[in-house]
A and B are shown apart, each in its own frame.
Chain A
Amino acid sequence: MSTSGTSDPSSPSSPSGISGAPGKEPVAVVGIGQTKHVAARHDVSIAGLVREAATRALADAELTWADIDAVVIGKAPDFFEGVMMPELYLADALGAVGKPMLRVHTAGSVGGSTALVAANLVAARVHRTVLTLAFEKQSESNAMWGLSLPVPFQQPLLAGAGGFFAPHVRAYMRRTGAPDGVGSLVAYKDRRNALRNPYAHLHEHDITLEKVQASPMLWDPIRYSETCPSSDGACAMVLTDRAGAARSPHPPAWVHGGAMRSEPTLFAGKDFVSPQAGKDCAADVYRQAGITDPRREIDAVEMYVPFSWYEPMWLENLGFAEEGEGWKLTEAGVTEIDGDLPVNPSGGVLSTNPIGASGMIRFAEAALQVRGQAGEHQVPGARRALGHAYGGGAQFFAMWLVGAQEPTT
């Protein structure tokens, strides 16, 4: 077994005091790869799917497998493919043999958490260049029922995530007085944005607002067209240190801040509409990145919106709008791709949802924006972008803020 290409843990940090930290290594995204997300990739195995995204990320970075020191992989519940701890079987396909390989699982936020764990390996100077990847091949099973396995004496999740989140959407509408049509506006926007993104799953060329509004009610108030699809797909990124970024053939995206926060699923006083963990996570990221006015200072947002109404809900939770005001931004067109605060220019989770990868796609799409590589869905001049993911019972949050410039602190 070769150990070439693995990093020496004795590199480059300077000696420090017993409890001192020498400061984090800046982390750069220098390679991004996605598969074309579709309902079912019958043409590839799970290994083939992840390798496709990984090789595209390596090609983007103009690196080879030998340049990768470690692999950090994430996905949602193993029941979605019926493979327990599939990273063991995927070690070969991801060039991880002889290297460290970590498998993260933090529910729907996992794609974001996985990227953050990988970024920390670079920030801590444990490794110099890390491949991180998240995937889901949902056609291997049925995600809704995979989430609904009955366990004696435990609260059932009831017919998948939509049934769980619909009451919280209704609570948001009651609390804010938002008119019924806001959710449809979000879905109509995101599905149109997806037409600009060649990797998006849903390409509904004949989409109209009337069609969204007329689609069947699935979990009142969430309509069929306001719901995320079930996708097969993978997303990969190459993260590296300052020296690696200097060799990057394309402009890197720099990580200006990243954080995870968690709170319990259910407890007296939990605010499902605007969970405290989400607020705390955003505040931590903004503090790291020196952001004091997110609405003005952030140029594009890729937020995790699996059900349309979560856009106005997260606009408030993330500090882009005052409480009760988020829906007004959506209604006024602020979150359109040519608006003042573009949200999900890629088409978002509403257009593409390989569950375990959805968070990493948000992180990667934010990086594409500040690299100026988002193609038809590029927000002109985007310098700072937020990637956001959440999971579980609106209880796990992962976010990063990336910028076109190397962070100064």
Chain B
Amino acid sequence: MTGPRTSRYARDVAVVAFAQSDHLRRTDELSEVEMVMPVLHEVLAATGLKAGEIGFTCSGSSDYLAGRAFSFTMTLDGVGAWPPISESHVEMDGAWALYEAWVKIQTGEADTALVYSYGKSSPGSVRDVLTRQLDPYYLAPLWPDSVALAALQARALIDAGETDEPALAAIAARSRADAGANPHAQLRGAVPQGDHQVRPLRTGDCPPIGDGAAAVVLAAGDLARRLCERPAWITGIDHRIEAHGLGLRDLTDSPSTRTAAEHAGLFDAPVDTAELHAPFSSQEVVLRKALRLGDTVAVNPSGGALAANPMMAAGLIRIGEAAARIHRGASDRAVAHATSGPCLQQNLVAVLEGDRA
């Protein structure tokens, strides 16, 4: 058995379990904690660990989606933080919660970590809500919504000759077709491309709006091997942010993704799988280029964010889906990506590997 190449870090850390909710357009009958609890129970059951045996717990969520301050205090009830636990929270996608947990394990202060994240977009208008994360003085007062900003990016790509509307439609169709094998996906199977939402993006180029949650368990070294038959070793992980102003960026490229990938060691060896957090079809074009993914790589076999895009969880789900493929032997080396902010402003890249027989 060949071990993972993680010697760049102090400790070898792996994803040993992943669980997610069914992602649904509405979950009116569920509070956030009711949505999260079954996922936590499932992911812990997969490892045989109890909440109190976990070394560190970290979550990601957004008060703006929940519509109340300190919303994460409610979901902490779902963890069962008694006796008290070592715990933290990021106001970011759960992929960054996973990063904080990975750092904690690297310090040696914990050997295991529970990471979870969730978002309910259904109670509000997420297109409007996301305008509140723009520059509050010069941009947010104009209420440019997330689809409009993504459309600017898509237009820049088409103008640069990097894609066209039929190619974007093909990305959308492939994603939904692949999601047919994913029982948790919100859109499973073909959906019509539909009319333009904001030119050049059609309905089919945009992610579904919905609610969902996800959870991952991390473990270090031999413990990971005891908890999981084939751990998904995190052989590299890094994240980078770009300028906020869209006018300061080349929207057809993602230098932050490329830098993160370099630091994560992605380009040291080929990957067979990529789970990309590309909520809009056009963003897959940008990410494929930044990550230098060839045609032999299976991109978003889960269906990706075009099939299910629960805010604050969709990035963590990419890591979980990539890890799950390694767990079941469908991948040996995979890259997972998460994004935050308008037009791929902030990006995280993780490289996952399985032990070779």
Contact = CB atoms under 8 A, between A and B. Distances in A.
Interface of A: 1, 3, 6, 9-10, 13, 15-24, 45-46, 76-86, 88-92, 96-107, 113, 117, 120-121, 123-126, 146-147, 149, 151, 153-154, 157, 259-265, 267, 275-277, 280-281, 391-393, 395-396
A168 to B, nearest CB: 16
Chain B: interface residue count, which band?
35 or more
A9 B259 contact: no
Interface string B123-163: 00000011011111100100000000000000000000000
B345 interface: yes
A9 B11 contact: no
Given A18-B221, A82-B136, 11 more contacts: A1-B255, A16-B10, A24-B107, A83-B140, A91-B241, A98-B242, A101-B241, A102-B100, A275-B84, A276-B83, A280-B83
Given A83-B136, A120-B103, A262 B63 contact: no
B9 interface: yes
Nearest to B237: A9
A107 B137 CA distance: 25
Nearest to B253: A1
Interface string B231-273: 0000010111111110010000001100100010000000000
A85 B92 contact: yes
B114 to A, nearest CB: 12
A109 B222 CA distance: 34
A125 B259 CA distance: 19
Interface string B88-105: 111110001001100110
Contacts of B239: 100-101
Nearest to A123: B107
A99 B81 contact: no
22 contacts: A1-B255, A1-B259, A6-B263, A9-B8, A9-B236, A16-B11, A18-B221, A19-B11, A45-B137, A77-B63, A84-B62, A86-B136, A88-B241, A88-B244, A96-B241, A98-B255, A101-B239, A124-B106, A124-B107, A146-B69, A261-B87, A262-B57
Interface of B: 3, 7-12, 31, 57, 62-64, 66-70, 72-74, 76-77, 80-92, 96, 99-100, 103-104, 106-109, 111, 129-130, 132-137, 140, 220-223, 236, 238-245, 248, 255-256, 259, 263, 340-342, 345-346
A57 B80 CA distance: 39
Contacts of B73: 107, 265, 392-393, 395
Contact of B90 (A105, A154, A277): A105
B87 A124 contact: no
Nearest to A8: B263
Given A84-B62, A98-B256, A124-B103, A105 B8 contact: no
A84 B82 contact: no
A263 B81 contact: yes
List 8 tightest A-B contacts by C-beta distance, closest first. Answer: A19-B221, A21-B108, A77-B69, A124-B106, A277-B84, A262-B87, A84-B133, A105-B91
A272 to B, nearest CB: 14
Contacts of A391: 70
B91 A103 contact: yes
A333 to B, nearest CB: 33
A272 B346 CA distance: 39
A263 B82 CA distance: 6
A90 to B, nearest CB: 8
Contact of B221 (A20, A104, A395): A20
Nearest to B85: A262
Contacts of B99: 102
A21, A23, A85 — most chain B CB neighbours (10 Å):
A85
B11 A88 contact: no
B103 to A, nearest CB: 5
Contact of A21 (B7, B10, B259): B10
B88 A260 contact: yes
Contact of A100 (B7, B109, B238, B243): B238
Given A18-B12, A99-B240, A395-B73, A85 B263 contact: no
A260 B66 CA distance: 24
B241 A99 contact: yes
A259 B135 CA distance: 34
